[in-house]
Amino acid sequence: MIEMLHKRGIRSGTMYTLGLASIGISFATWLLSKRFEAAGIDRADRWGLFIGEWTPTFFAMGIALRIEETHRTMAEKEEYLEGRRREWEHEGVRQTTPSPAGTRR
């Protein structure tokens, strides 16, 4: 699931932002429910807690996406370095290969 989210362009920063936003929305819904609903403080608490429970999920998904991003970055860097090693080895072989008899480089 995390790989699918990453492929769709969702990054760890997005999830961290949603986690922080859910804290603010949780407080706002609690405050608004407390002020404008006649159901009382119990209902306001339930609204605040319901939305507040999203926060750890968003942060956990942000951490998982961060690991995915780091893993991909390291894999890309390793592929790049492996390609460079092959080029260097190929160039080294070319330089140490003796020239055919009678020709000079």
Q: Which long-range contacts (CB under 8 A, 24 or more apart) does 50-53 make?
A: 51/22, 51/25, 51/26, 52/22, 52/23, 52/26
Q: Is the model's pLDDT at 57 over the cut of 70?
A: yes
| DSSP category for residue 18 | H
| Predicted pLDDT of residue 30 | 84
Is pLDDT at 34 greater than 90 in this prediction?
A: no
The whole model's pTM is what? 0.63
Percent of the chain with pLDDT over 90: 29
Average pLDDT score over the chain: 81
